[in-house]
Amino acid sequence: MITVKEIHSKKDLKQFVKFPFGLYKNSKAWVPPIITQELQTFNKKKNPIFEDAEARFFLAYKGDTIVGRVAAIINWLEVDGQNQKKMRFGWFDFIDDFDVSKALLQNVEHIGIENNLEYAEGPVGFSNLDKVGIITEGFDVIAPMVTWYNHPYYIKHYEALGYKAEKTYVESTFPFENVKPEFFAKAQELIKRRYSLTALKFTKTEEVMPYVDKMFDLFNESYASLSSFVKITDIQKEYFKKKFISFINPEYIKFVVDKNDDLVGFAIVMPAFSKALQNANGKLFPFGFRHILNAKKNSKDAIFYLIGIHPEYQNKGVHAVIFNEYYETFKVKGIETCIRTPELEDNEAIQKIWKHFDPVVFRRRKTFRKNLN
């Protein structure tokens, strides 16, 4: 007998966050979140996403044992502003028992129907800066910190419950030695002169901060045409500044501005924190910080998290300026491997940017959709 309970208390939310720690305890590829940070994500008083979205959290029990979880999410910016009548769900984990996955998704679907939504899609987070998709290929590779991991059996659960693959994302990698400066070194100088562009270099986080709002504005512009896009609001910008920017090496943040100091391109790269987070096992204290700081300083893997080019400059070679900056930084840092986080497989513009580096796809992931009417 499976029982599903909606949860509200901090104690229950902590159980919600900690459930995957048992589910994946024998997995070498799963990367645990920092428990306190995950709880802050779900804190309606601290996460400004709840100004424009709502979430309800459910745990599934078999007897007294927790056997699954799911977050049911409605992003009203998406529903009302974009007329996308989508019931989102994420943080969806479960044992290999169809009664469990079915019971959890029935709660999600019921909320969608109650709110006159047309379909459910997941796993997704609240916005485009959250994790997305279940792995369908590439289960044996350690997951970057900005992605979810899942067991292979998840796929058959979605399919058996009437969900069909909706969007496909790819993750790829290439050795730094594949980056040949002859592809962009001369071109980027010409592009900077032709369009009066300047590449900004940072050594301190406080130098980055004056440009962060412009970066989120450009993010909104450059990603607006993608099918999964939901705009980042002003109040969310402040939240993400505190959550992400101080976590990133300032020299791994690259901005390109025009003669008016307006941002026309940006990219954010992070060191690979996955092994450090595995060692931390969800806790910053007493030793988790040490593992994370060591990775921040010494990791030889670079994770490309975000890259955006203003629509007016997307075919003018601005990415060559950005890659030249990273080439110089990575040489000094001794970077050996470059890794790309999930990108929509049908995003042709982003695929063209990477083609010269001969990337190899090491993982695919998908979201799944089910009509509610």
- In the chain, where are the structural domains located? 2-170, 174-362
Question: Does the pLDDT at position 231 exceed 90?
Answer: no
Instruction: List helix spans (H) across the chain.
Output: 10-23, 35-41, 76, 98-114, 154-160, 185-195, 205-208, 212-223, 234-244, 274-280, 288-298, 318-333, 348-354
d(CA 292, CA 298): 10
Please tell me the least confidently modeled range out of 98-112, 203-217, 235-249, 351-365. Answer: 235-249
Question: Does the pLDDT at position 184 exceed 90?
Answer: no
Rounded to an integer, the average pLDDT of 260-286 is 92
121-164 pLDDT tens trace: 999 999 877 899 999 999 999 988 899 999 999 999 999 999 99
Question: Does the pLDDT at position 303 exceed 90?
Answer: yes
Confidence band, pLDDT 50/70/90 cuts, at residue 289: confident
Confidence band, pLDDT 50/70/90 cuts, at residue 228: low
Query: Looking at per-residue confidence, does 244 or 86 come out higher?
Result: 86
> DSSP readout, 169-190?
EEEEEEEGGG--GGGTHHHHHH
pLDDT recorded at residue 81: 82
Question: Does the pLDDT at position 325 exceed 70?
Answer: yes
Rounded to an integer, the average pLDDT of 237-266 is 88
Cα Rg of the chain, angstroms: 21
d(CA 143, CA 151): 12
207 three-class SS: helix
pLDDT recorded at residue 36: 94
pLDDT recorded at residue 94: 98
Please tell me the least confidently modeled range out of 88-97, 104-113, 340-349. Answer: 340-349
Confidence band, pLDDT 50/70/90 cuts, at residue 298: very high
Domain 174-362 has CATH 3.40.630.30: yes
Query: Looking at per-residue confidence, does 140 or 348 come out higher?
Result: 140
pLDDT recorded at residue 227: 63
What pTM was computed for the model?
A: 0.93
**Of all residues in the chain, what percent carry a pLDDT higher than 90?**
73
| Mean confidence (pLDDT) of the chain | 92
Question: Does the pLDDT at position 347 exceed 90?
Answer: no
Confidence band, pLDDT 50/70/90 cuts, at residue 14: very high
Non-local CB neighbours of 346 within 8 Å, separated by 6+ positions: 168
Give backbone dihedrals phi and psi of 259, rounded to 5 degrees, phi first: -65, -20
58-107 pLDDT tens trace: 999 999 999 999 999 999 999 998 889 999 999 999 999 999 999 999 99
Rounded to an integer, the average pLDDT of 251-258 is 95
pLDDT recorded at residue 326: 95
Please determine whether the domains at 2-170 and 174-362 fall in the same fold group of CATH: yes
**CATH fold of the domain at 2-170:** Aminopeptidase (3.40.630)
Tokens of 355: 């083609």
How many C-beta atoms lie closer than 10 Å to residue 115's C-beta? Answer: 14
